[in-house]
Amino acid sequence: MVRRGTLGVIATGSTAAGPVLHGLRAAAREAGYGLSVFSVPGRGEAALAAAAAGLRLQGVAGIVVLDPHLAASPPPVPGIPLVPAASADQYEGARRATEHLMDMGHPTVWHVGGPEDGPIARARELGWRETLERYGAEVPPVVRGDWSARSGYRAGQSLAVEAGVCAVFTANDHMALGLLAAFTEAGMRVPRDAHVVGFDDVPEAAYFAPPLTTVRQDFVAAGRQTLALVTARIDGSPSPVREMVAAELVVRESSRPTRV
């Protein structure tokens, strides 16, 4: 593969080491591009502008922004194409997760959501909420987390003492990990006493105790879509239609119908 040049990547917060970046790296290698990653702890136009200025000095051909809080149109950078990373269909993934639990006969599904100000967390919450409404089920209050296993553990502690909790959809796998630990400490066995579904299918999800049912995102496909968008702008070609990457439900032991 002939090397075509270098693309800049602005990664905010935990995205600097996340699966989206790994998928983008794989797609960039396929297309013959190198990546120069600029990690910033904050977000907003000032942080993006500072990071973009640093990447411009490196002579990158274009810039991709990895930030789950970023809207579809990031602030412009003079002379350099800049696009947000493509994403999986968060709403559809949450719908599939919630339907899976409802179709097992649960009266409702509880939700451990991500930060309220994040578009990804909001999309996953909306998919969960509207699915319950279509089933005519009660919509429980959201238990809010911050994507970390620690916040999932705290959510699990609160849900373990809540009457009638038998199905939980967590907005990511790390919070599901914490929730599983809290349930175990409280004497709740998954899947005997409750079914749990996560989101992301991190590499460790298959080795949780029990192995976690989750929504898999094809991060390499998202990387390819992102590259198609940014390279079209570099070449001056019409931009391809921004498409959501399909999300796939992966069923494992945490939601097997084995409760007795």
Domain 5-85 is found in CATH 3.40.50.1010 = no
Tokens of 23: 């998928």
DSSP β-bridge partners for residue 5: 33
In whole angstroms, give the CA distance from residue 165 to residue 108: 9
Average pLDDT over the chain, rounded to whole?
87
Task: Kindly report, residue by residue over 146-193, the tens digit of the pLDDT.
Answer: 999 999 999 999 999 999 999 999 999 999 999 999 999 999 999 999
- Overall average pLDDT of the 76-96 stretch: 82
Tokens of 74: 């990031």
CATH topology of domain 90-216+249-255: Rossmann fold (3.40.50)
Query: pTM for this one?
Result: 0.81
Task: Kindly report, residue by residue over 239-251, the tens digit of the pLDDT.
Answer: 777 777 889 999 9
DSSP β-bridge partners for residue 144: 113
Where does CATH 3.40.50.2300 sit in the chain? Answer: 5-85, 90-216+249-255
Which helix (H) or strand (E) segment is 125 a member of? helix 119-134
Predicted pLDDT at 181: 98
